[in-house]
Amino acid sequence: MLIPTSFQQLPTEKAWLSGELPGSFLASHGNRRPARLWIDIATKIEKVLESCELVPVLRILEQHNNEQDNKKGRERNKSPFLLGPYLFQAIYSVEQKKTAIKGMPVLMRRPAELRAHFHEASAKARALARLLRKGPQPSVALAAHDEAREAVTPFQPCPTVQSPHRSETVKPLAELLDTAAASLDSMPEKILSAQQRAKSGARFELQRLAASTLVRRFRKELNRPYHLHVAAIVTALSGIHTDADYVKKIEKRNLPATALRGQSS
């Protein structure tokens, strides 16, 4: 599949999902191929994007991306706003949580034991960081910030540590250990919340994650939350009827009141 010379939303979404768009983490690298789960998720997302309910949404995004091209003197926008990475993020997060709970014995402990485990790990990471600061210490080269990777990690209990810049960054190991310790401190509540939500079913978790992710990204990228359009996407993705009121409720939970004031669909 070739990427169109003038921006078109659906063909570009499909190019990203097939790994043909530069920067897509679904691309093959030499003999390495995307995991079977990743391919299955991409196939599901492509079918969702082809549904007639999403035609108005794709038109809005297409117009936005073309406007971005025009602002750059018709130079192609190298980072167009695509739905694919965020839909992938939502589905993958649900699947990963199910796998993590099954594969890590510590996640099966009682809440108090789980908190104690991560508190101990965090304390040891900080203690090692203090020790390293007393003398020479290794440095770690962080690869350039990857927006595609960022799209997958926000809902993971412990996100990937990335360079804050679009170029390689060298950080002292002690600084990375402090960052890891902060993530470990926050993990128990995220895991326990995920386990609690999982009791209501993966589809409802997917509904919540998709609504939360998309309304936030629409507000940031398009300057409007598009509650009705987000609801249409979530319905197509999760198979659960979702209306604008549900999306507004999810957004209200995640944003301070001042961020919502004066804005509407």
Q: Write out pLDDT tens, residues 220-260.
A: 999 999 999 999 999 999 999 999 999 999 998 876 543 44
Lowest mean pLDDT among 32-36, 132-136, 190-194, 225-229: 190-194
CA distance 54 to 220: 20
pLDDT at 55: 95
* Interior/surface letters 188-201, b for 16+ CB within 10 angstroms, e for the rest: beebeebeebeeee
Comparison of pLDDT for 202 and 241, the residue scoring more: 241
pLDDT at 194: 62
CA distance 169 to 212: 31
Comparison of pLDDT for 74 and 58, the residue scoring more: 58
C-beta of residue 81 within 8 angstroms of C-beta of residue 64 = yes
pLDDT at 261: 47
Comparison of pLDDT for 101 and 144, the residue scoring more: 144
Q: Write out pLDDT tens, residues 117-168.
A: 989 999 999 999 999 999 999 999 988 877 666 655 544 556 678 888 888 8
Q: Write out pLDDT tens, residues 1-19.
A: 444 457 899 999 999 999 8
C-beta of residue 122 within 8 angstroms of C-beta of residue 181 = yes
Comparison of pLDDT for 102 and 81, the residue scoring more: 81
Highest mean pLDDT among 69-78, 99-108, 239-248: 239-248
For the chain, the average pLDDT equals 83
Kindly state the percentage of the chain with pLDDT values over 90: 46
Comparison of pLDDT for 110 and 180, the residue scoring more: 180
